[in-house]
Amino acid sequence: MIKVEGLTKRYARNVAVDNISFEVEKGQIVGFLGPNGAGKTTTMRVLTCFLPATDGKAEVAGFDVRSQAMDVKRRVGYLPETPPLYPEMEVREYVEFVGRLKGVPKANLQARVDEVCGRCNVADVKTKLIAKLSKGYRQRVGLASAIIHNPDVLILDEPTAGLDPEQRKETLALIKELAGEHTIILSTHILPEVETICQKVIIISKGKLVATDTMENLNSRLRGSELLEVEVGARTGSINKDSVQSRLSSVAGVSRVEFKDVRNGHLQFHVESQQGESVRAEIARSVVSADWDLLELHGAGLSLEEIFLQLTASDKGAK
Amino acid sequence: MSNIWILCKKELRSYFVSPIAYGLMAFFALICGYFFYAAVAIFVLRSTDPMMMQRGMPMDINEWVIRPLMMNVSVIGLFMIPMITMRLFAEEKKTGTIELLATSPILDIEIIVGKWLAAVLLYLSILGISAVNLAVVFIYGKPDWKPVLVAYLGLLLQGGCLLAIGSFISNCTKNQIIAGAGTFAVCLLLWVLDWVAAYETTTFGKMISYLSVTGHFENFAKGVIDTKDVVYYLSLSFFGLFLTARSMESLRWRA
């Protein structure tokens, strides 16, 4: 559905996107990850024909973004980071206006407006002025107008930025719902979001492609060894840090135990397992059988920064 | 074509839901009313002048009231145009809505013409208020109506070309104040250019005074349609819209 080959975008003084290539298949949700300033927005702007690429080729829905821009624009729904709303319009009016711009036939424009407003949960504010809407509603109105012409490809630039956790959850659920009919690229710098809804991840950093893979592959590649956070407390009396550490280390499959902190008299450790070993059950048993309390045992997620460090580090190693 | 109309309607609507349109109309009604009063007052004063009474020929109301009024309206227009055009593109660039327009399946030129057309229609509806003043003349006098129509045509052409220039300047910046001030400066310059005409007889001087916007309006105010003036206004309109299109294009590579 989307094919990018050697895409480069150079501004006067810096290179925003440097020779990146990737492909997205029909119906997929793809997470476009990267820290701020990585070139996510620039890439998306090229795909939506807002900016021309300096070099390279990009195809959306089988049309070239440079030579067949009109065909691409007809098939792409785009939600920029700040939804492009006119505050002086009412919600219904705005969605209708966008529908007309995108060339939705007059005969079924009204039906489409009602449909997308319903899907994006903005039906209850249809007659409100956009200026009076909260951030969450604005985001959803933006999304509603992005899908008004039923586009093949949906490009969402940080659709959850600035939303509260509840709104964030709702927005993600909505995007996931839309996935069947549309191919979706969404950019974000928040990893858990991607984990919950994306099938594929494209990671860029400083304009360069760092990784492009399916979510599972990426996870196993990065988390061949599991990192656990363990909190142990004494049932009675006090507890010795070293004895806990040595006991944890002696569990089969554990490669490293690191003492982290003391919290309310409880000891916190980071335990790393060997490649491909699951050690949770053993750790729990060993702690409890030593007559300590196991207060917490959970996998410590890798932050996006850590993924970057790992990926870029492995790149350097390969070279 | 329908895309132009979509944009034009949206633009007109945002003029009329904001105070801009009403503010300009009120401002224009006030100033135009004042100039009308002044023109009529002079007319009345002169008509009672014994020297004039002896002349036997009645005073021409077209020449004494309508022409000076129209000349003044043309100058008031120069002051209103920056206020009409300043938000046209600058606002969309600032709020990011230009991204919506630029990624929609419409041509740049349709965006530009749609917006310009909305500005022209607003300008016309503001000018329409002066019809109230003229109606008084038509009720109490018997002026010739044809020169009046020609004068309005001239105002429309003049407005069209200045609005096109204003669109271009608004497209060059994200800042509405800069857009407004820039357009005002250009309008002012195009107005005062013909002040040198009286003293300059060289070719260069004539060229400069030919560029004056208000200079070309004089014939229209008299009720004369000169192709020279029509060509001047139309070509300046096209030039303004052409520059706007170029500036819009540069948005894409300058980003």
Which chain B residues have a beta carbon less than 8 Å from that of A145?
Answer: 100
Question: What confidence category does residue A100 fall into, taking pLDDT thresholds of 50, 70 and 90?
Answer: very high
Chain A within 8 Å of B250 (Cβ-Cβ)?
no
Please, are residues B158 and B80 in contact by the beta-carbon 8 Å criterion? Answer: no
Using a CB-CB distance cutoff of 8 angstroms, which residues of chain A are in contact with residue B17? Answer: 88
φ/ψ of A66, rounded to 5, equals -90, -50
Residue of A nearest to B98 (CA): A84
Of the residues B5, B99, B109, B115, the best mutation for testing chain A's interface (the one with the most A CB atoms within 10 Å of its CB) is B99
Structure-token pair, residue B23: 């503010």
Residue with tokens 């997470």: A31
Closest residue in A to B94 (Cα–Cα): A84
A94 and A35 Cβ atoms separated by less than 8 Å = no
B20/A contact by beta carbon, under 8 A: no
User: What's the domain range around B224?
Assistant: 2-254
Segment A64-79 mean pLDDT: 91
Record: contact B105-A70, CB cut-off 8 A: yes
Least confident of A36-40, A121-125, A134-138: A36-40
Partner residue opposite B105 with nearest CB, options A89, A97, A102: A102
Angle at B126 between CA B122 and CA B130, to 5 degrees: 155
Among A55, A79, A38, A39, which Cα is nearest to A4's? Answer: A55
Candidates A88, A89, A101; nearest CB to B104: A101
**pLDDT value at position A255?**
79
Q: Kindly report, residue by residue over B129-181, the tens digit of the pLDDT.
A: 999 999 988 898 888 889 999 999 999 999 999 999 999 999 999 999 999 99
Q: Which of B42-46, B70-74, B210-214 has the highest mean pLDDT?
A: B70-74
Pick from B71, B89, B7: which is nearest to B35 by CA? B71
Residue A304 has pLDDT above 60, yes or no: no
* Cα A281 to Cα A62: distance, rounded to the nearest angstrom: 51
Domains and CATH numbers, chain A: 2-221 (3.40.50.300), 224-301 (3.30.70.3190)
What local confidence, expressed as pLDDT, does residue A310 receive? 67
pLDDT band for position A75 (50/70/90)? very high
Residue with tokens 């919506």: B100
What's the pLDDT band for A319 if we cut at 50, 70, 90?
very low
Q: What is the pLDDT of residue A316?
A: 46
pLDDT in tens, A184-224: 999 887 777 777 788 888 888 888 888 887 777 766 666 55
Task: Indicate the residue of A50, A51, A103 with minimum beta-carbon distance to B105.
Answer: A103
> What whole-number distance in Å separates Cα of residue B86 and Cα of residue B106?
23
Q: Which of A39, A32, A5 has the alpha carbon at shortest distance from A21?
A: A5
**A122: closest CA of chain B, how far (Å):** 20
A80 touches chain B (CB under 8 A): yes
Q: Rounded to whole angstroms, how far apart are CA atoms A285 and A6?
A: 53
Q: Which positions in chain A touch B98 (Cβ < 8 Å)? A: 84
Tens of pLDDT, residues B16-59:
998 999 999 999 999 999 999 999 998 888 877 766 666 666 77
pLDDT of B200: 67
B195 pLDDT above the threshold of 80: no
E strands in chain A: 2-10, 15-24, 29-33, 55-60, 63-64, 76-79, 153-157, 183-188, 200-205, 208-214, 227-234, 254-263, 266-273, 292-299
CA-based nearest distance B108→chain A, Å: 11
- The verdict on A132 touching B (C-beta cutoff 8 Å) is no
Across the interface, whether the CB atoms of B99 and A102 are under 8 A apart is answered no
Quote the pLDDT of residue A303: 56
How near does any CA of chain B get to the CA of A85, in Å? 6
Torsion of CA A265, A271, A277, A282, to 10 degrees: -20
Contact call for B253 and A52, based on CB within 8 A: yes
Which of A148-162, A253-267, B52-66, B77-91 is the least confident region?
A: B52-66
pLDDT attached to residue B101: 93
CA atoms within 13 A on the CB side of A9: 26
Please name the residue of chain B whose CA is at the shortest distance from the CA of residue A146.
Answer: B100
* Burial profile A104-120: b = 16 or more Cβ within 10 angstroms, e = fewer: beeeebeebbebbbebb
CB A7 within 8 A of CB A46: yes
Residue from A101, A102, A109, A139 whose CB has the most chain B CBs within 10 Å, to mutate: A101
C-alpha to C-alpha distance for A211 and A30, rounded to whole angstroms: 13
Interface contacts (A, B; CB < 8 Å):
60
Please count the structural domains in chain B: 1
A73–B103 C-beta distance less than 8 A: yes
Interchain pair A84, B100: CB under 8 A: yes
Q: Where are the alpha helices (H) located in B86-175, listed in sequence order?
A: 90-95, 97-102, 108-127, 130-140, 145-171
ipTM score of the complex?
A: 0.87
> Minimal Cα–Cα distance from B253 to chain A, Å?
7
CA distance A74 to chain B (A): 6
DSSP state of A223: -
Mean pLDDT of B170-195: 91
In chain A, what residues touch B96 (CB-CB under 8 Å)? 80, 82, 84
